[in-house]
Amino acid sequence: MKKLIIHGGRRLSGEVTIGGAKNSTVALIPASILADSVVNFDSVPDILDVYNLQIIMRSMNVQSSFANGELMIDPTAIEEAELPSTAIKSLRASYYFMGSLLGRFGRAVVTFPGGDNIGPRPIDQHVKGFEALGAEVEYDDDTVRITAPNGLHGTRIYMDMVSVGATVNTILAAVKAEGTTILENAAKEPEIIDLATFLNNMGAKIRGAGTDTIRIVGVEKLISNNVHTVIPDRIEAGTYLSMAAAQGDGVLVKNIIPEHLEAFIAKMIEAGVKLDVHEDSIYVPKTDHFNAIKIKTTPFPGFATDLQQPITPLLTLADKESVITEEIYPERTRHIPELNKLGMDIDNLSHGLIAIRPSTQLMGNSVSAAEIRAGASLVIGGLMADGQTVIKNSEHILRGYDRLIQKITQLNGDIRIEESDEPMH
């Protein structure tokens, strides 16, 4: 197990550059096995999810190399194989191999994915998409078996709820299907536009990504002729904006697409942080007085559930009680008892309703990261609290935060990582 050790209380300043988006990358990599050529990406974040996706691809004889943000994937000699369940379980997005293997081979056998423990994460809408395209889906124990004995055929699919994962998986299965697929009530997240851009540049015909109706005309071949640059990670950006507002004396956060963070920026400004928003960067000035605010998480372009936990420590600095309604994952509250160990006063009032009260005396403590964004909130809490904070199970954080130690150190934070003999849980 890895532990993060933070000596808090130091003020942060300087610049930090945001990496490529985890949630794009983890869709782009499985998508690349649909290509009939080598595929190249840059701005790929240095995160554990990428290494685990490489392990999964290697089991299918898909070779890849990854260094300095450049990722090359060669799917031209791909073979069907049993996928390694430990790597599959290490991340959520391994379920994108259901859609991409189905698109490539007309069948897929994938163990149920892992990912963050943020409450129930059903896949009924993914299955609805596959079945609508003509696939048959069977579950046996922990495994999903998908076949398409008569091929995949475009159709009209209405998603019963807005799901990022189901939208991505349906696109992956439909991109080489025969005929036209019309996906209604699709998710509109920027990462879906990034995926569609990547596939379209290889010859796919996907229109409407970023709106709630996506139209896909199936094509036979996908050939990559250029390098795809992954969009900046809006969740990593929001995490550093929150960290800088809570503990900074002036921090410039670079490589941001502000349009991807509109709801978050609006809430930070409402909280009293006078953000200076530029074309591709945001300056966070030192803030002495914070207002209490109300937040409700909703699908894009609303306030992202993935930023609910990272903004929470900042709200403990407000003058009155703030309230967050977590609509997407009401059980995404495992940060609360841990942040309270640092002296914060946060209450899980009822299903998804969180009260954050002013707290003054924060002291470091030993805490545990239950999942990635809970962990990110603990990193911010640890930087705010006096004394030493030890964050156990930090692998969860490193799943999705590019060069975290280097970036926080560059901002004058005191943080290091240590290996411990205790098993991860």
Ligand X SMILES: CC(=O)N[C@H]1[C@@H](OP(=O)(O)OP(=O)(O)OC[C@H]2O[C@@H](n3ccc(=O)[nH]c3=O)[C@H](O)[C@@H]2O)O[C@H](CO)[C@@H](O)[C@@H]1O
Ligand Y SMILES: C=C(OP(=O)(O)O)C(=O)O
Residues in the annotated binding site for phosphoenolpyruvate: 22-23
* Min CB(93)–ligand Y separation in Å: 5
Q: Which position among 54, 181, 305, 322 is part of the footprint of ligand X (CB under 6 A)? A: 305
- With binding defined as CB under 6 A, does residue 124 bind ligand X? yes
* Min CB(400)–ligand Y separation in Å: 5
Residue 119 token pair: 């409450």
Query: Binders of ligand X among 169-188, rule CB under 6 A?
Result: 187
- With binding defined as CB under 6 A, does residue 328 bind ligand X? yes
- With binding defined as CB under 6 A, does residue 368 bind ligand X? no
Q: Which position among 48, 101, 109, 164 is part of the footprint of ligand X (CB under 6 A)? A: 164
Single out the segment in contact with ligand Y by CB under 6 A; choices: 89-97, 103-111, 155-163, 381-389: 89-97
- With binding defined as CB under 6 A, does residue 372 bind ligand Y? yes
- With binding defined as CB under 6 A, does residue 367 bind ligand Y? no
Residue 123 touches which of ligand X, ligand Y, none (Cβ within 5-8 Å per kind): ligand X
- Provide the annotated active-site residues: 116
State how far the Cα of 223 lies from the Cα of 95, in Å rounded to an integer. Answer: 23
Which residues are CB-contacts of 49 (< 8 A; sequence separation ≥ 6)? 22, 25, 26, 90, 91, 93, 399, 400
CB 109 within 8 A of CB 97: no
- With binding defined as CB under 6 A, does residue 307 bind ligand X? no
- With binding defined as CB under 6 A, does residue 115 bind ligand Y? yes
- With binding defined as CB under 6 A, does residue 118 bind ligand Y? yes
Report the alpha-carbon angle 399-142-392, nearest 5. 30
CB 396 within 8 A of CB 13: no
Over its C-alpha atoms, the chain yields an Rg (Å, rounded) of 21
Cα dihedral value 368, 369, 370, 373, nearest 10: 150
Question: Which residues are at the interface with ligand X (CB under 6 A)?
Answer: 23, 26, 92-93, 120-126, 161, 163-166, 187, 305-306, 328-329
